[in-house]
Every structure is written in C-alpha cells, then in structure tokens.
Chains A and B, each alone.
Chain A
Amino acid sequence: MVEAELIVAGIQALIRVGKAANDSLIQYVREEKFLVPPLGAEKFSKLNLIRDVYIQNEELKRRISRPDDLGQYWSSPDDAPRKEPPESEEIIFLAALDARTRQLGWANGVPRDGARAVVGMRVLQQWKSDQLDPERPLEPLPRFLLSVADAALEVVGANPSLLGIGGNGEKLVGALAANLAILIPNDAREFGPQSQFADRLLRLFLRAGLQTLSDESDVVIPQRHLSQLTQNFLGPVIQALPRDFLAQQSWHDVANALTGPAARAAFETLAQDPEAFLGREFDPNNALGAVTKALFAETAKVGLGTVFSESGAIALYRAALGVVADRPELFAPRTGKADTDEIATSLIQSFAETLVKAPRPFNDDLGIQLAVAALGVFQEKGAAFLPQDQNWEKVASALVMSVANAVHDGLGRPDHDVLAQLFSRGQLVQFANVFIEAAAEHPEWIAGDRTELMAVIRAVASARKSDAGGLLSAGAWIEIAREVATEVAANPGRLFSVANGDGIGAGLIADLVAVAQADALGGRGSKGVLFGALLQAAIATALRAAASQSDAATAHRADLASLAKRLCEIARERPGQLGSAEWLALYRALIPRILGGEVVLGKNADELLAFLEQGASA
C-alpha cells in the first residue's frame, strides 16, 4: 500500500503541474516526456538529493528530527531513510523536494505553484518508471490519482481560488488523497472490475465536492471533516460495488446519476453546519456512509426511475442526511436488533415500499416530498416519543402512507383529470404536508393510532372535493386544513372521534360548503357573500365553537347550517345592510346563542340584524 502522504503530495503536485501547463499535462503523462538537460559527471541519487536538502534546509532537518513526523522514516545512524517501511525513501524524498522548491521559491521569487510542479514531475516519473511494460495499463492507485487530478483540474480551471493555501478545495483534494490508500486496494487483480466504477465515483464525487465548496467559499471546513466525509461517503459505496457483470449494469446508471448530486447534498449539509454534522467521531460504518450505500443499493435494485427518480432519490437522501446531521442517535445500532447499516437500509427500503404501494399520485416524487416532510419531523423531534418497539424509520414511512391514503380517499380516489381540478401537484403536497406538520406538533398522531388524524384529513379533503364550484381557492383549502388540524389537535376527540374518526367536525365543514354552494347558484348578480375568505372564516369559526361545545354542536348541527343559510338569504335580500363582514359578525354572535339553546332562527331579518349592534357592543 502506498503511503497517504505520498499520494497527497502527488495529487497536489499534479494539479499544480496542470495549472501551470494546462493541456500539456495529459500529453505529458501519456508520452512520459521528461526534460533531462545534459548529463552530469556524477550519478545523483534520491538519497543524494535528500542529504543535499538536509544540509541546506532547516525545515527538512527539523521535520526529520521529530519522531512523529519524518523522523519515523529516518535512520540517524545511517544518515538515510529507514529500510522499513519501504516507502520511507519516497516520503522523505518528496518532503525534501517540497522543502527545496519552497526554499528556492522564497529565495528567488519562484511562484509556489511552479516550485511544486517539480515535485509533481518527479512523482509522475517515478510512477511511470515503475511500469516495466509501457503498454501495460496503470495499476489502480496511480490511475486513480491521475483521475482525481484530472477531475480536479476541470473544476479548478474555472475556480482557481479553490486551491488557495488552506482553501476548502485543497483540503478536499488532500482529504480524498489521504483516503485513497484506504479506499482503493492497490492490486488490480484484487479490485477487478469494480475499479472502473470506483474510478467514476471518485471523479464524480470530487467534481461535485469541489464545485460545492467553490459555491460555499465563505465557509471554512476543517480538513478532518472533509476527510471523514470523503471516507464515509465513498468507503461503503465502493465496498458495496458489485463484482458480477449484470449487477454492474444496474449500478452503472445509478452511480452515474446519483453520485454527483448525492455528493453535492452531502457537502452542502456539511457546509451548512460542519460541527453538527461531523463534530462527533464516527466509526467507519457511520450513518452517512450507511445511508449513502443504502440509497445506491436500493436504487440499483429497483432501477432508477422505477420508484425513485434522480431528483426524488436525492431529495430523500438529502432529508435523510438532515436526520443524520441533527439526530445521529437514530442510526445508532439497536442492541440485538439492527446495526447502522440495517437501519439505513430499512429507512430507504421502507420509503421505497411506501412509494410502490401509495395511491396515485403519491407513488412518485410527490410521495417523496411527503417522505421529506416526515423525515423532517424526526429530524426536529427525534424519536424519543416512540414506544420502544417501534422503529422510527418504519413509523415515518407509515405516516406518509396514512396521509397519502387519507387524502386520496377524502378526495374520492380521483383520477388525474379530477385531481388536477382540485389541486396542482405542489398544492397537493402542501395540503398533505399540513397534516404531517400538525402531526409533528402532536406526536401521538405519529406514535399511536392515527384514526383521528386520518378522519380529519378525509373530512377536509372530502369538503374540498365537494367544492367543485371553486368557492374557495386551493390555497384557501390548505389554510382551512391547517385551521382544522390545529383545532382538532388542540381538542382531542371533540371534532373527530379518536376511536373511529366520526364526529361533528366533518359535518360542520360539509354543511357550510353546501350552504355556500346554494348561495352561489345565482352568481354575483344575486349578491351572495359566502365564498372565499368569508367561507374560510366561517368554517374556522364553526369548528372553533364546536371544539369548545362539541355535544351542543352535534345536537344543533342542523340549526347551525340553517343559521348560515338564513344569513345568506338576508345578505342577498338586504345587500345594503349585510356584507361579508356583517355576515361573519352575526355568525360569530349567534352561534353561542344557538349552542346555548336559544331560539334564534325564528326571528325575522330586522331582529337578526339587531344582534349586530349587540354583537358589536359585546
């Protein structure tokens, strides 16, 4: 195995060579051109160079004197690198070149990049000279190094500041290089056909990473975090790469489509909150790697576009990373049950199965958006509210399924055309998410029986369906859904039965919609007012009153409907005395009287309008 430090120096130098020489790098590598001026009289070895720099350069001398630095590779009695490990001479040689070139740079104003290029040339020459047969393909590690350098150059060319000293780009390249020796076995026979994929993965990962870090240039990310991210992201995926040909085919598209966006998502998550995401120490089988591997494996299994679209998969992945970042404990191994890998796999599989079984249109990216919302609940709340025997990832996917089914049922299992008249896709997601957000505020709707929640959803969705005439906009229905969810959550069992979902809530909404539809039959010429904001406010008023006095509301449901109908009649008959504001004021003033058993409906219009003054003064 080649030492990581050697790789780091090699890649950084390669990039600098590339920066300096641009297109010549490729030709340079391919043709093994290397400038060799006239021969010297004495053979000058790497050891001579090392000793030469040792004599001239205090920095190298200092590093060699430190046991935790180059001292571990140096034998003082021999004034030479140790025999073991075998790469000792290479490591010190590169360090010597590096020290030398920087020393000369300082002394002579040679740009640091140019000085570094010397190192890269030597590294290249060394690798290439190791190939006995010039036609023989490169071993995986050198090939990966060149790949990484090539990919980095693509981005660095457009964003040269990425490689500023201490910049995120330089750190990432260093982090990736440092991990290469761990990630990639330097044995072609051992690595076999997986190497092609791994090569591709590295390129895509690095390109996405550099681009993201370029966009997030104001964020300073410690190198150890980038190193962890690199290892955690790539390690499990590379290890999971299939060996057989057929399996490779299914991985091919997935790897091509997801690696870049997924890496970008991971980097963005890291950039947003580095400490929260990777401030803790993760073991190699950490949650990030587990989720990444699970996403790739599951997508490869079912096929990209079958269950997950590319954007859907990434949206789900991004949401899962949010949970990883804020609630890593949710991926902690469950004693005797599941390890981190299994939890991550269960998470992705559960949502995949939910999407397969979910009713249209929730069986595609729409369902993913609900899944994102559901994961957001656990990201915010954790899972402490769940009973011990419930696995949070399965509960999350079950919540999505419940909401999707209830919306679908409530809307009357609409076909595409009908649904399009009720909600756009975005509005439908907003509508459904209202209930997931409400569930987040009332975890018993997640952890326990969701009968009440589903009844609420069905009721509102059903009312929406009954509003075929569009008395309320889709946006208004979303607001009503929010109002209903809030009232129901605050008043358990009053508006909808916790046991079976029955209750006054659905009836009140349906009654008001029916009255409004009748009111609207004559069009604007009939001067009806119960639509739009007034209808929305009336529903909220009725639900609020019924939540406080549900028995009375149940008993006087017909009276409440009649009250609304009567007020609509007066508004049409006396438009100069009763507008929408007065309608609502009267409605609010008279509901308590009706629920209190007072006979109100027998009064004539003047008597009812007189309540306006009373209601106002009250």
Chain B
Amino acid sequence: MTFLSRVGVSASLLVVAVAGGGCTLIALCRATNTYESLVQNQERCAPSQPCPATTELAGLAASAAAKARAQADPETAVTFWRVAADSAWKGKVGFGDMNAITTAGTAACDQLDAAHFRAPGDCLEICMAGVRSGYDHAQDEYHELERKRSAGPLDSTDLEKVDGTFGSLSNNFNSASGCLEKFPASAGLDAVHDDRLRIYCLATKDIQLRRLDDVPPAQGSRSLEMLAAVAPRYGGNPCMNNSP
C-alpha cells in the first residue's frame, strides 16, 4: 500500500472512528504512520552506526503483533500483521520472531474470505517479509565473506558459509515465487519480481566467491534455474542491466 493510499484509508477510518469512537482504528492509523516514519528515519541513519529507528521498528513489530492478535476483525488483523511483519523485517528481529509473525499473519490471511482477497496487498507483504528479511541476512553474510575473499582464498569454514548463504537465498527465491503464485492479483507484484531478481543476483555473486571451477554443479544448475525464471521479465542479462 502506498503512502497516499494509506493516507486515504487512514482518513476514512478516522471518520469512522470519530463517528463510532473506535480506538482500534486510531491505533491502526498510528501504527502505519509510525512504521512509515521510522523507515524514513532508518534510511537517514549511517550504515556503520547504530540506528535508533531500527530498535524502534523492532518494538513496533511486537506491539503491532499484539494488536493483531487482539483483533476480532480479520481484515484489520491482517493489516496489523502486515505492519508487524514489515516492522520486524526492517527492525531486524530474529528469525524466530519473524517466523512467528509471518506464520500468524499468514494464518490470518487464510481466514479472509474470497471477497477480502480482492486487494490482497497486505497478505503479499506478509508473505514477502520473511523473504526480505532472509535476503538482508544473506547479504550481510555475503559482504562479510566478500571482505575475506578480497584478502585471499576462503577457508573451508567460510566456504560452508558460502554454500549456506546460497542455500538460504535459493530457498528465499522459492518462497518469493510462492508468494507470486499465491497472490497473483496483488498490486505489489512488480516489487516482488524485483526482489526475486535481487535474490538471484546475490545468489550468483555468492557462489562466485569460490574458485569458479570448484562451484558445485548443483549450484550452477540451480543458478540457471533461477535465471530462467527471471529472464522472461528482465532479459538474459538481468543483474547487470539492473545494477545500481
């Protein structure tokens, strides 16, 4: 959901809230606005410095999850789960917390009837939050391994990490593909396609940390599978063409 649409929804809900006196809706508006504000603050942080917004996002994830669990209305719950999931991702919560949020959020989505899936953006976001979180984690690992690789060949322990990172990214790729299949009508599909491309590109860079002739054939084949999946949309040289 974009900022403008969120403002529109918030305004509508506020009207209802004033008329009906519902604090839930005010909390929801506050949560989404807070999330957006914190993300903007986070982007202003220097990468090498601790960022208060990240800590606050982790807190927001927990509070939003609590509100989601307390919600009787399935749609409102899903929106809180979405805020919780995105906040958990950007708040860099641990895998366990993230998994708990996305699992519960997915369950909430599953309770929505078909009519509510006409605009399934929140559910797609919940679906992708774990994927994005996993990507960020893999990217951190990659950068660490890359730093070591620039100093010399990686030892066996690091090579195992290379394999682990590739495996994680490969799973993330599959998860993203699953999200695309599960919510084909979502307006956020473009972003998911982009994310999937990003996963592939990082995965292929990851295995390049090895000597090329030592890359396990299975990883080469898997890499090609991922490429074949993104090529119809991004062409035969997708990573370079979309390189920053």
A-B complex is real: yes
Interface residues, chain A, CB within 8 Å of chain B? 35-46, 48-49, 51-52, 54-56, 79, 97, 100-101, 103-104, 107-108, 110, 115, 118, 122
Q: Which of B215, B232, B240 contacts A108 (CB 8 A)?
A: B232
Measured CA separation A46–B238 after assembly (Å): 12
The answer to whether A43 touches B244, judged by C-beta atoms less than 8 angstroms apart, is yes
Smallest Cβ distance from B43 to chain A, in angstroms?
14
Contacts of B235 in A (CB 8 A): 118
Q: Is B37 located at the chain interface by the 8 A CB criterion?
A: no
Q: Is B197 located at the chain interface by the 8 A CB criterion?
A: yes
Smallest Cβ distance from A119 to chain B, in angstroms?
9
The answer to whether A44 touches B228, judged by C-beta atoms less than 8 angstroms apart, is no
12 other contacts beyond A39-B244, A41-B135, A41-B201, with CB at 8 A cut-off? A35-B241, A37-B242, A38-B190, A40-B239, A41-B139, A42-B201, A42-B239, A45-B240, A55-B223, A100-B237, A101-B237, A104-B227
Q: Which 10 A-B pairs have the closest CB atoms?
A: A44-B239, A44-B243, A39-B244, A56-B224, A101-B236, A55-B220, A51-B208, A40-B242, A38-B194, A52-B204
Measured CA separation A46–B212 after assembly (Å): 15
Smallest Cβ distance from A571 to chain B, in angstroms?
92
The answer to whether A108 touches B231, judged by C-beta atoms less than 8 angstroms apart, is yes
The answer to whether A44 touches B227, judged by C-beta atoms less than 8 angstroms apart, is no
Measured CA separation A579–B198 after assembly (Å): 104
A-B contact list, 11 entries, CB within 8 Å = A39-B243, A42-B243, A45-B243, A49-B239, A49-B240, A54-B212, A55-B212, A79-B212, A100-B237, A104-B231, A104-B236
Q: Is B83 located at the chain interface by the 8 A CB criterion?
A: no
Q: Which of B139, B228, B239 contacts A107 (CB 8 A)?
A: B228
The answer to whether A55 touches B205, judged by C-beta atoms less than 8 angstroms apart, is no
Smallest Cβ-Cβ distance to B220: which chain A residue:
A55
The listed residue with most A CB atoms (<10 A of its CB), out of B194, B228, B243, is B243
The answer to whether B194 touches A55, judged by C-beta atoms less than 8 angstroms apart, is no
Smallest Cβ-Cβ distance to A102: which chain B residue:
B236
Q: Which residues in chain B, 46-75, are within 8 Å of chain A measured between CB atoms?
A: none
Contacts of A108 in B (CB 8 A): 228, 231-232
Measured as residues with beta carbon below 8 angstroms from the partner, the interface class of chain B is 20 to 34
The answer to whether A42 touches B198, judged by C-beta atoms less than 8 angstroms apart, is yes
The answer to whether B237 touches A40, judged by C-beta atoms less than 8 angstroms apart, is no
A44 in contact with B205 given A55-B220, A79-B212, A107-B228 (CB within 8 Å): yes
Contacts of B78 in A (CB 8 A): none
Smallest Cβ distance from B78 to chain A, in angstroms?
26
Smallest Cβ distance from A12 to chain B, in angstroms?
16
The answer to whether A40 touches B223, judged by C-beta atoms less than 8 angstroms apart, is no
Interface string of B77-96 (1 = CB under 8 A from A): 00000000000000000000
Measured CA separation A122–B242 after assembly (Å): 13
A118 in contact with B236 given A40-B244, A44-B205, A55-B204 (CB within 8 Å): yes
Smallest Cβ distance from B243 to chain A, in angstroms?
4
Measured CA separation A616–B49 after assembly (Å): 128
Q: Is B202 located at the chain interface by the 8 A CB criterion?
A: yes
Smallest Cβ-Cβ distance to B208: which chain A residue:
A51
Contacts of A110 in B (CB 8 A): 236
Smallest Cβ distance from B242 to chain A, in angstroms?
5
Measured CA separation A38–B190 after assembly (Å): 10
Q: Is B124 located at the chain interface by the 8 A CB criterion?
A: no
Contacts of A40 in B (CB 8 A): 197-198, 201, 239, 242-244
Measured CA separation A44–B227 after assembly (Å): 14
Q: Which of A38, A43, A100 contacts B236 (CB 8 A)?
A: A100
Q: Is B147 located at the chain interface by the 8 A CB criterion?
A: no
Q: How would you classify the secondary structure of chain A's contact residues: helix, strand, loop or mixed?
A: helix
Smallest Cβ-Cβ distance to A52: which chain B residue:
B204
Q: Which of A39, A45, A97 contacts B242 (CB 8 A)?
A: A39
Q: Is B44 located at the chain interface by the 8 A CB criterion?
A: no
Number of A-B contacts (CB under 8 A): 97
The answer to whether B212 touches A115, judged by C-beta atoms less than 8 angstroms apart, is no
Q: Is B118 located at the chain interface by the 8 A CB criterion?
A: no
Contacts of B224 in A (CB 8 A): 56, 103
The answer to whether B244 touches A41, judged by C-beta atoms less than 8 angstroms apart, is yes
Contacts of A101 in B (CB 8 A): 236-237
Contacts of B98 in A (CB 8 A): none
Smallest Cβ distance from A194 to chain B, in angstroms?
37
Measured CA separation A97–B237 after assembly (Å): 7
Measured CA separation A115–B231 after assembly (Å): 11
Smallest Cβ-Cβ distance to A122: which chain B residue:
B237
Interface string of B108-119 (1 = CB under 8 A from A): 000000000000
Q: Is B207 located at the chain interface by the 8 A CB criterion?
A: yes
The listed residue with most A CB atoms (<10 A of its CB), out of B198, B237, B242, is B237
Q: Is B183 located at the chain interface by the 8 A CB criterion?
A: no
Measured CA separation A46–B224 after assembly (Å): 18
Smallest Cβ-Cβ distance to B142: which chain A residue:
A42
Contacts of A54 in B (CB 8 A): 212
Measured CA separation A36–B190 after assembly (Å): 14
Q: Which of A79, A104, A107, A115 contacts B211 (CB 8 A)?
A: A79
Measured CA separation A39–B238 after assembly (Å): 10
A52 in contact with B223 given A41-B202, A107-B228, A108-B232 (CB within 8 Å): yes
The answer to whether A42 touches B240, judged by C-beta atoms less than 8 angstroms apart, is no
Smallest Cβ distance from A437 to chain B, in angstroms?
63
The answer to whether A44 touches B201, judged by C-beta atoms less than 8 angstroms apart, is yes
Measured CA separation A56–B219 after assembly (Å): 9
The listed residue with most B CB atoms (<10 A of its CB), out of A38, A39, A42, is A42
Contacts of A100 in B (CB 8 A): 236-237
Smallest Cβ distance from A231 to chain B, in angstroms?
33
Contacts of B240 in A (CB 8 A): 44-46, 48-49
Contacts of B234 in A (CB 8 A): 37
Smallest Cβ distance from A58 to chain B, in angstroms?
9
Smallest Cβ distance from B72 to chain A, in angstroms?
39
Contacts of B223 in A (CB 8 A): 52, 55-56
Measured CA separation A97–B235 after assembly (Å): 11
Smallest Cβ distance from B17 to chain A, in angstroms?
36
Smallest Cβ-Cβ distance to B243: which chain A residue:
A44
Measured CA separation A117–B133 after assembly (Å): 36
The answer to whether A42 touches B202, judged by C-beta atoms less than 8 angstroms apart, is yes
A36 in contact with B242 given A44-B201, A56-B224, A79-B211 (CB within 8 Å): yes
Smallest Cβ-Cβ distance to A51: which chain B residue:
B208
Measured CA separation A42–B223 after assembly (Å): 16
Contacts of A118 in B (CB 8 A): 235-237
Contacts of B135 in A (CB 8 A): 41
Contacts of A51 in B (CB 8 A): 208, 212
The answer to whether B205 touches A97, judged by C-beta atoms less than 8 angstroms apart, is no
Q: Which of A41, A48, A56, A97 contacts B198 (CB 8 A)?
A: A41
Measured CA separation A115–B224 after assembly (Å): 16
Contacts of A48 in B (CB 8 A): 204-205, 208, 239-240
Contacts of B220 in A (CB 8 A): 55-56
Smallest Cβ distance from B128 to chain A, in angstroms?
15
Smallest Cβ distance from A81 to chain B, in angstroms?
12
Measured CA separation A40–B241 after assembly (Å): 9
Measured CA separation A93–B112 after assembly (Å): 50
Contacts of B201 in A (CB 8 A): 40-42, 44
Contacts of A49 in B (CB 8 A): 237, 239-240
The answer to whether A36 touches B241, judged by C-beta atoms less than 8 angstroms apart, is yes
Smallest Cβ-Cβ distance to A65: which chain B residue:
B213
The answer to whether A56 touches B227, judged by C-beta atoms less than 8 angstroms apart, is yes
